[in-house]
Amino acid sequence: MSKLIPKFKGKVENGKLILERPQIFNLYLGGLENKVVEVIVQKQVKSRSDKMNRYYWAFLHVLEQETGDDANNLHEYFKRVLLPPQIIEVFGKEIKLPATTTKLSQYEFTNYISKIERLTGIKSPDPDEFYSL
């Protein structure tokens, strides 16, 4: 089971961590009073961009024309087949949430599109041509 773990962004300046939203961070910390915590600091990974999302939906519309399946249905299908679901706990019970593409890194998103190409046998549009439009 995975837990939804909040992420707090900031940057390091002169060896000190400067948080983007320190009030929310402090509020969260208040809920952990007298608890042992684990702190992980890592360089931020870029998530997929809006530009990449537009490219993906253009590819889904190509697939829609080729297969006759609705682009929205294809999107839901690929998420469920190619991405792992998220398991969370609510009211003491585990539930499975469908995967989402919005949290994929740029690298993961590129691999996701490649998996769709392999699964369907249909090549995605040339990114250079698509982005030059």
pLDDT of residue 40: 85
How many domains does the chain divide into?
1
Give domain status of residue 13, yes or no. no
Helices 71-82 + 50-67 axis angle, to 10: 110
Tens of pLDDT, residue by residue over 84-133, are 988 888 898 999 888 889 888 888 999 999 999 999 999 998 877 776 55
pLDDT of residue 5: 75
Give domain status of residue 14, yes or no. no
d(CA 78, CA 57) in angstroms, rounded, equals 12
pLDDT of residue 3: 62
Give domain status of residue 115, yes or no. yes
Give domain status of residue 86, yes or no. yes
d(CA 65, CA 77) in angstroms, rounded, equals 16
pLDDT at 39 over 70: yes
pLDDT of residue 41: 84
Tens of pLDDT, residue by residue over 21-37, are 999 999 999 999 999 99
In one letter, which amino acid is 71?
A: A
Give domain status of residue 56, yes or no. yes
Range of the domain at 125: 50-131
Question: pTM score > 0.75 for this model?
Answer: no
d(CA 82, CA 109) in angstroms, rounded, equals 11
Q: Which backbone phi and psi does 63 adopt, to 5 degrees? A: -65, -35
